[in-house]
Amino acid sequence: MTKIIKDTQYANWIQALKQQFRQSQLKAVIKVNQALLQFYWQLGGEILEKQKKTQWGEGFIPQLSKDLMAEFPAVKGFSVRNLKYIRQWRSFYAAIGQQAVAQLCQLPWGHNLAIISKTQDHQEALYYVQQSLNHGWSRAVLVHQMESGLWQREGMAVTNFEQTLPAIQSDLAQQSLKDPYIFDFLTLSVDHSERELEQSLVKHITQFLLELGSGFAYMGQQVPIAVGERDFYLDLLFYHTQLHCYVVIELKINDFEPEYAGKLNFYIKAVDEQLRRAGDLPTIGLLLCKNKDRMVVEYALSDINKPIGVSEYQLTKSLPKDLKPSLPSVEDIEAEFETELLGSHEKNHKES
């Protein structure tokens, strides 16, 4: 027995079994969640229909809650409060199609409630639904993205991509940049230097990557580039896994000046010449500055032959402590739904 327990082959096998079981648990929980939300969708529609066509009055939902909870005492989702949320959720999305409904039902109920409470219309709401599904945002990350106005900021950087990139890459590159970027996870003095800003961003690289968005892979800071007999240093270098290109980020603590674009153009050319390999698409530059005059930026970029985007950055508010930009664990999802879906099995067992 001792020999089996210490055997490496056995240890690896049992570890694989545990992982497989966790994955099966995750699939089961997701499937139950989808069934629950499909039921909520139908229930919300029926509540709206009954209230429209009957004279049951204000006591309808409390009575419905009482009757359902009497039959299913361990299920928390039939409280008066949650029934009203179900009605509000269905009413909010009254005009969407079945494909969009299917997407809603893939998200946890808590995510759905957060979205309808913080968005203005179903178009904006469905954007956050899709982003949550694409990136596996936890509720804390989702709420932060909504409160930071991601919907309004995405794709808003001033760029020359249309003139300098192929159409397919240009559109995706435009949507990959924001304006402004919000670095509310930094604590900097009013008179901070560019180097302090750069070092702080690298120190908080997880939050920085979250704000940059999906696809950015960090390659380094103060990356040396030799041109002629001189050495130059890129503030920050990334590789974008969806755009398949390098991204050079330059930081400026001052307002935009036309000469900044010329310097970044120089850096992009150097990266294209020295780092770009077969299969890599043209390198993109992102200039982050404190403020900008849009007309000045457009004028400065008009004759630049390398793809550059210019955005502002802001240092405000504070980031939630429990950010989890990856897919939630099985335990997270189970905790989210066990009270709504299955009730307390142990409690029923003790009472029986």
Model pLDDT, residue 328: 45
Confidence tier at 345 by pLDDT (50, 70, 90): very low
CA distance 285 to 87: 47
What's the whole-model pTM score? 0.79
pLDDT more than 90, % of the chain: 74
Q: What is the pLDDT of residue 10?
A: 77
Q: Which two tokens stand for residue 154?
A: 């995405």
pLDDT at 310 over 60: yes
Statement: residue 5 has pLDDT above 80: no
**Cis status, amide bond into 180, omega within 30 of 0:** yes
pLDDT of residue 74: 87
User: Is the CB of residue 284 less than 8 Å from the CB of residue 307?
Assistant: yes
Per-residue pLDDT tens digits for 22-43: 888 777 888 889 999 999 999 9
pLDDT at 329: 46
The whole-angstrom separation of Cα 306 and Cα 304 is 6
Q: What domains are there in the chain, each with its CATH number?
A: 2-148+329-351 (no CATH), 152-314 (3.40.1350.10)
Instruction: Supply the pLDDT for residue 344.
Output: 41
How many CA within 13 A on the CB side of residue 154?
17
| 169-181 average pLDDT score | 96
Lowest model confidence (mean pLDDT) among 6-15, 56-65, 101-110, 204-213 = 6-15
Average pLDDT, the chain: 88
- pLDDT tens, residue by residue, 259-298: 999 999 999 999 999 999 999 999 999 999 999 999 999 9
Residue 348 reports pLDDT greater than 50 = no
Mean pLDDT for the stretch of residues 137-156: 95
270 contacts 264 by C-beta, under 8 angstroms: no
Residue 109 has pLDDT above 80, yes or no: yes
Residue 336 in this model has a pLDDT that exceeds 60: no
Question: What is the percentage of the chain residues whose pLDDT exceeds 70?
Answer: 88
Of 289, 291, 290, 308, nearest to 299 by C-alpha is: 308
Partners of 232 in the β-ladder: 225
Backbone angles phi, psi at 313, to 5 degrees: -130, 155
Kindly state the tokens that stand for 106: 């893939």
Report the C-alpha gap between 259 and 234 in whole angstroms: 16
Is residue 252 within 8 Å of 215, Cβ to Cβ? no
